[in-house]
């Protein structure tokens, strides 16, 4: 099974293959995501692993999942601890290679706690937006009450 790791940042992301020594960089925008999906399909990738990065990973994860490729969004703490346990360093281009090895090890576990990503349904996204807006309104109400007293 061919596994890729994508290290996602605000402006770009680095794609690493567990079995190759090279990495590929793409811009973090719809065009870059489309190029990435083409690249993944060209290399017959079965699984993509990325770290949770405060939501920056969601557009790419959704698009890759829609393209029929399994995606795991890993806890950054897990990948960091894994990297510390290995003799390699975790910087820039190597930053993508170490988690690619982590992804390979994770995929081999049958009892893995890291489950494949399932994008939320449209109804779940709407519900989340409504809950977030309600929480914002409640916070604003509390702030106004405190201001008036």
- pLDDT per residue, tens digit, the chain (149 aa), is 566 777 788 888 888 766 666 778 888 899 999 999 998 888 888 888 888 888 888 899 999 999 999 888 888 887 778 777 777 555 555 555 666 677 777 666 655 555 677 888 889 989 999 999 999 999 999 999 999 98
How many other CB atoms sit within 10 Å of the CB of residue 2? 14
- The predicted pLDDT at position 138 comes to 96
Task: Write the CB contacts of 131 (distance below 8 Å, at least 6 apart in sequence).
Answer: none
- The predicted pLDDT at position 129 comes to 92
Cβ distance 15 to 26 under 8 Å? yes
Which uninterrupted H or E stretch holds 43?
Answer: none
Which uninterrupted H or E stretch holds 4?
Answer: strand 3-8
How many other CB atoms sit within 10 Å of the CB of residue 95? 19
């Amino acid at each position: 099974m061919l596994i890729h790791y994508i290290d996602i940042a605000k402006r770009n992301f680095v794609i690493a293959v567990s079995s190759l020594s090279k990495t590929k960089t793409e811009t973090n925008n719809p065009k870059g995501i489309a190029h990435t999906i083409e690249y993944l399909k060209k290399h017959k990738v079965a699984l993509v692993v990325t770290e949770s990065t405060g939501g920056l990973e969601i557009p790419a994860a959704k698009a890759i999942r829609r393209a029929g490729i399994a995606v795991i969004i890993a806890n950054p703490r897990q990948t960091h601890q894994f990297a510390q346990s290995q003799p390699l360093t975790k910087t820039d281009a190597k930053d993508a290679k170490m988690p690619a090895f982590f992804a390979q090890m994770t995929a081999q576990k049958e009892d893995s706690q890291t489950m494949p990503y399932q994008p939320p349904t449209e109804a779940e996204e709407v519900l989340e937006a409504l809950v977030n807006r309600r929480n914002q309104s409640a916070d604003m109400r509390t702030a106004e009450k405190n201001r008036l007293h």
